[in-house]
Amino acid sequence: MEAPSSSWHKLNFVEAAHNNRKVGGGVIRDHQGGFIASFEGSLRNHTVNQVEGMTILWGMKFSTAMGIRQLEIEGDSKIIIEVVKGRTAAGWKVDAILSDTRILLANLDNFTIHHIYREGNAAADSMAIVDMLQEGLQCCRSTEPLPVITKEILEKEKTKSQY
């Protein structure tokens, strides 16, 4: 949960569920903890693993669209991390989603990907929870529209250099 090296960025992603609604969210930050972007989106009629897979894919698409070339990725789904690493399979629907993620990863200069417990993934978790109130995929490049709780988490983690 340490800050990435200089010139690297960090992508945190998470899935959340409430009343049969599944949403994913994430945060992209620079090596100093500075906010780059956040995203959240909901999917209906999908499994938890499919939503986790789509969430990391969304994060990868936004990261590469912003020209990020070195990326540290953290998520709280061990199975999704293991599938991305090629250590296990999760079923054809999830594997198909994550094959697109692996293609995007292969185009980066460098990346790391590892599991983090939900407690260490607070900013991404807050973005997923925000989507419980909205529909569709949203991405923002400013902290202005973010909920107060997300802004507080981002600032707290930035000052600790642990995010």
For residue 4, being part of any structural domain is answered with: no
Residue of 15, 33, 32 lying closest to 24 (CA atoms): 15
For residue 2, being part of any structural domain is answered with: no
162/50 Cα distance (integer angstroms)? 28
For residue 63, being part of any structural domain is answered with: yes
Q: Which domain does 129 fall in, by range?
A: 9-160
- The domain that holds 99 is classified in CATH as 3.30.420.10
For residue 3, being part of any structural domain is answered with: no
Q: Are the CB atoms for 31 and 2 separated by under 8 Å?
A: no
Q: Each residue of 107-146: pLDDT tens digit?
A: 999 999 999 876 666 666 666 565 555 566 667 677 776 6
Supply the DSSP string of 24-73, one letter for each residue: EEEEEEETT--EEEEEEEEESS--HHHHHHHHHHHHHHHHHHTT--EEEE
Q: Give this prediction's pTM.
A: 0.79
Q: Each residue of 35-68: pLDDT tens digit?
A: 898 888 887 778 888 989 999 999 999 999 999 9
